[in-house]
Copies of this chain bind each other. A is one copy, B any other.
Amino acid sequence: MSTILLSLALVLVGAKLAGELLKRLGQPAVLGELLVGIVLGNLALLGGPDLHDLAQDETFSVLAELGAILLLFHVGLESTPREMMAVGGRATLVACVGVVTPMALGFGVGELLRPAESWMFHAFLGSMLAATSVGITARVLKDQDVLRAPFARIILGAAVIDDVIGLLVLAVISGMIRAAATGAALGLAPIAVIVVKAFAFLVGALIFGSLLSPRLFRSSLALRSHGVVLALSLGFCFALSYLALAAGLAPIVGAFAAGLVLEEVHFEGHVRRGERPLHESLEPLIALLVPVFFVRMGMLVDVRSFAGGGVLAFAALLTLAAALGKLACGLPSPRGVSGLTVGLGMLPRGEVGLIFAGIGARLVLDGKPVVDAGAYAAAVFMVVATTMATPPLLLWSIRRGAKASPPRSLPVP
């Protein structure tokens, strides 16, 4: 308890001060939170206390994850399933290019630098580059108040879809490596189960959710207590996040789906009775928990891991593969939407990349970990570089687009 109270106080005040500083420098506030995290996580190098354990603390990471869940829920609220469907085909295309290109390039980096190792090592290296970390991009889009612009919808839709594809790829490749380690090949049946579970969740959440939630929330008008809107929506968001996790997906996928399905209009009756609109009630929750997520992400970076020989070259090539691979996915963006903005929005690889690297470090093939210390450090570098570069680059690209043409945001429903 004592640790959590102190770290919450530090995170809240530190994040606010750093965010203010970065904003004055014309940079996004989230960059300040990441920097605070990197400083806190590496204080031991400067002779300060070692806070590395804190980043691994279970309660702290649950608070961080709740922050990510609430952020994606909030981001999802800005769109409806119908609006997402409208960009759905294009977003799926962007997501597929954004998964295949970096995977192929990452595979190539593996062939080039570690030619002696099995193709499965290279495939795992590639799969670490697949999933966009939607949190960073969502935060920049939200801070710039452009969540309703067509390019923002394409980025967010594609980022969520490639999160899903990325998790599927991870599950399949890990399964193949585990099977290979026991000398067997992975059957088609377990692969099919993974894919079917994920799709069942997505289709179920979006279709049943859209059909049921308006009725559910309209009938909740019968409840006269104060705060019904917030309690029921958060309950819905947490329930879908739980179901996503149970289906083998990330909880943020469930939270985003919950946000898509819910609409403020379902609560019109409640708001007329004096309840606060949902997005207003969410703001303080986001203000408390989202900085925990970004500061913790910075804390996970161990700057010492870049000291090893050859690691920097490996890291630089992997980062290049990650960046080129995602910039390529701006190519299929429609007329009037900047491909560069879409590509930059897809750039950050965050938590998911680190989670993949962590899983790879525990997988063993031919008596060696699939992701050794050098590859892990390179993966961390790739995550940090893409994460830190995205906010300023994306901001620059959005402003450039806004100057070139007036914003084409969809009408507020």
Across the interface, A16 reaches (CB within 8 A) one of B9, B227, B281, namely B227
A189 sits at the interface (CB 8 A): no
Which one of A2, A225, A285 has the greatest number of beta carbons of chain B within 10 Å? Answer: A225
Q: Determine if A238 and B285 form an interchain contact, defined as CB atoms under 8 angstroms apart.
A: no
- Cβ-defined contact, B4 with A234, below 8 A: no
Given A5-B242, A245-B2, A246-B2, A231 and B16 contact (CB-CB distance below 8 Å): yes
A258–chain B nearest beta-carbon distance, Å: 11
A45 at the interface (CB under 8 A from B): no
Judging by beta carbons under 8 Å apart, are A227 and B287 in contact? yes
B13 touches A232 (CB 8 A): yes
Query: Which residue in chain B gives the minimum CB-CB distance to A238?
Result: B9
Cβ contact within 8 Å between A230 and B284: yes
| Residue among B9, B231, B242 making CB contact with A15, cutoff 8 Å | B231
Could you say which of A5, A224, A231 has the most chain B C-beta atoms within 10 Å of its C-beta?
A5
Q: DSSP class of A's interface residues: helix, strand, loop or mixed? A: helix
Q: Does A366 contact B (CB under 8 A)?
A: no
Whether a CB of chain B sits under 8 angstroms from the CB of A157 is no
Q: Could you tell me the distance between the alpha carbons of A230 and B287 in the complex, rounded to whole angstroms?
A: 8
Confirm or deny: A337 has a beta carbon within 8 angstroms of a beta carbon on chain B: no
Q: Cβ of A6: which chain B residues have Cβ within 8 Å of it?
A: 238-239, 242
Question: A5, B245: Cβ atoms under 8 Å?
Answer: yes
Task: Give Cα distance in the complex from A285 to B230, angstroms.
Answer: 10
Do the beta carbons of A245 and B62 come within 8 Å of each other? no
Please give, as numbers and ranges, the residues of chain B lying within 8 Å of A66 by CB-CB distance. Answer: 4
Q: What residues on B are CB-neighbors of A8 within 8 Å?
A: 234-235, 238
User: CB of A282 within 8 A of chain B?
Assistant: yes
Give how many copies assemble into the complex: 2
B16 touches A239 (CB 8 A): no
Known pairs A62-B59, A225-B19; A238 contacts B284 (CB<8 A): no
Nearest-Cβ distance from residue A6 to partner chain B, whole angstroms:
5
Q: Is A50 an interface residue (CB 8 A)?
A: no
Interface size class of A (residues with CB under 8 A): 35 or more
Residue of B nearest to A70 (CB): B288
Tell whether, in the assembled complex, residue B4 and residue A62 are in contact, meaning their CB atoms are under 8 Å apart. yes
Q: Are B20 and A231 in contact (CB under 8 A)?
A: no
For residue A74, give the distance in angstroms from its CB to the closest CB of chain B. 12
> Which chain B residue lies CB-closest to A291?
B231
B-chain residues with CB within 8 Å of residue A117 when the two chains form the complex: none
Residues in chain B near residue A246, CB distance under 8 A: 2
A53 part of interface (Cβ distance < 8 Å): no
Return the contact of A20 from the options B224, B234, B238 (Cβ within 8 A).
B224
Interface string of A232-249 (1 = CB under 8 A from B): 101110110110011000
A230 shortest CB reach to chain B, Å: 5
Chain B residues within 8 Å of A285, by CB: 284-285, 288
Between A and B, 25 residue pairs with Cβ closer than 8 Å are: A1-B65, A1-B245, A2-B245, A2-B246, A5-B238, A6-B238, A6-B242, A8-B235, A8-B238, A9-B235, A9-B239, A9-B242, A10-B235, A13-B231, A16-B223, A16-B225, A16-B228, A16-B232, A20-B224, A23-B225, A24-B224, A227-B283, A230-B284, A231-B291, A281-B283
